[in-house]
Amino acid sequence: MEKTGNTYEELVQLKESEEIGWREFIRRQPEMENDYYHWCVENDLDMNEDTAEAFMTLTEEHVVA
């Protein structure tokens, strides 16, 4: 059964324990999902695990910078 409505901290724990991947991590956060979708469209990319990881890396770098 799929859990929904997780907090960000819960999602981080699920990702770290490898229960979910980057794509699912993003999918469970509607605002982030919307940003990811637009980023993929603008860059002509498929929505998959690899692009989800790249999006998260770029997002984290932008937040830290």
Predicted confidence band of residue 1 (pLDDT cuts 50, 70, 90): very low
pLDDT beyond 50 at 62: yes
Q: Extract the tokens encoding 38.
A: 């637009």
pTM of the full structure:
0.83
**26-41 per-position pLDDT tens digit:** 999 999 999 999 999 9
Domain boundaries, the chain: 8-63
